[in-house]
Amino acid sequence: MLHTAVVVPENSLYIVARPACKKGRAVTTTSIVRGQDDLYERAASEYGAALVRLARGYEADPDKRRDLLQEIHLALWRSLEGFDALCSLRTWVYRVAHNAATSYVIRQRRARPQMLVSLEEAQALTIQPEASRKVVLDQLMDLIQRLKQLDRQVILAWLDGMEAGEIAELTGLSPGNVATKVHRIKSILARDFQGGSDGRP
């Protein structure tokens, strides 16, 4: 059973391809999950809050964000029929979610073109610091929404607590490339958003 009432728009572009996990021994799970619906329920329960945060990183408008989140949940449910446990459920969920969000952004950019920036370009942007944590986080989300897709994927995964190795597996980047991007992210956060001891706000 889906957590949201899923309505599929006609003629929508979806990237719901099965995530490519590394071949090798299947990841063992502590509980036996039976069926696509049960696996979806588990994924939605464990990673639902992360999906909400991810959707916010891709869409600023609350109504459109709800539509995006609905699309992400639908894409996740559809994909789990082919889940083979060659990668962790967490990696699978993030890949499907980012793919669905990327499809959404492609459609939105056709309707409302927007200039996206790289992390390197974002380092040169001036952001006014504010005393209010809410305003600071809103500014951070605004910055994330302006990033190019791959940089956005890296920063959202890192802010959600993923380590460089997991992000490399998620994005297909080399661990060294991920480390470079994370270093740039930390520089931006330390300069403009007063990141914590690990750099995360």
**151 shares a domain with 92:** no
Q: 3-class DSSP state for residue 112?
A: coil
Give the end of a domain, one of 57, 83, 114.
114
What pLDDT does residue 147 have? 84
This prediction's pTM: 0.64
pLDDT (tens digit per residue) in 104-159: 888 877 666 556 666 666 655 555 555 456 666 777 788 888 888 888 889 889 88
**84 shares a domain with 135:** no
Contact predicate 189/195, CB 8 Å? yes
pLDDT of 160 above 50 = yes
The terminus-to-terminus CA distance of the chain in angstroms comes to 35
Does residue 198 belong to any structural domain of this protein? no
Query: Which structural domain, as residue segments, surrounds residue 48?
Result: 1-114
**Burial readout 162-199 (b: 16 or more C-beta within 10 A, e: otherwise):** bebebbbbbbebeeebbebbbebbeebbeebbebeeeb
Q: Choose the weakest-confidence range: 6-10, 49-53, 115-119.
A: 6-10
Phi and psi at residue 85, to the nearest 5°: 65, 25
**101 shares a domain with 10:** yes
CA proximity to 139, closest of 67, 60, 66 = 60
Does residue 199 belong to any structural domain of this protein? no
87: CATH: 1.10.1740.10
What pLDDT does residue 32 have? 38
Does residue 184 belong to any structural domain of this protein? yes
148: CATH: 1.10.10
**59 shares a domain with 153:** no
**144 shares a domain with 75:** no
Measure the CA–CA gap between 122 and 60, rounded to whole angstroms. 18
Measure the CA–CA gap between 75 and 169, rounded to whole angstroms. 20
109 by Cβ neighbours in 10 Å (0-12 / 13-18 / 19+) ranks as exposed
> Is residue 60 very low, low, confident or very high in pLDDT (cuts 50, 70, 90)?
confident
pLDDT of 81 above 80 = yes
**89 shares a domain with 60:** yes
Percent over 70 (pLDDT), the chain: 65
Measure the CA–CA gap between 138 and 5, rounded to whole angstroms. 28
Could you tell me which residue, 24 or 42, shows the higher pLDDT? Answer: 42
pLDDT (mean) for 30-58: 84
Give the side-chain half-sphere CA count within 13 A for 138. 9
Which stretch, 30-44, 129-143, 158-172, has highest mean pLDDT?
158-172
Does residue 201 belong to any structural domain of this protein? no
Give the end of a domain, one of 83, 98, 114.
114
**97 shares a domain with 32:** yes
**19 shares a domain with 102:** yes
Q: How many structural domains does the chain have?
A: 2
Give the end of a domain, one of 114, 143, 170.
114
Which stretch, 51-60, 66-75, 168-177, has highest mean pLDDT?
66-75
What CA–CA distances, in Å, run from 93 to 56, 57, 58?
16, 16, 16
**34 shares a domain with 127:** no
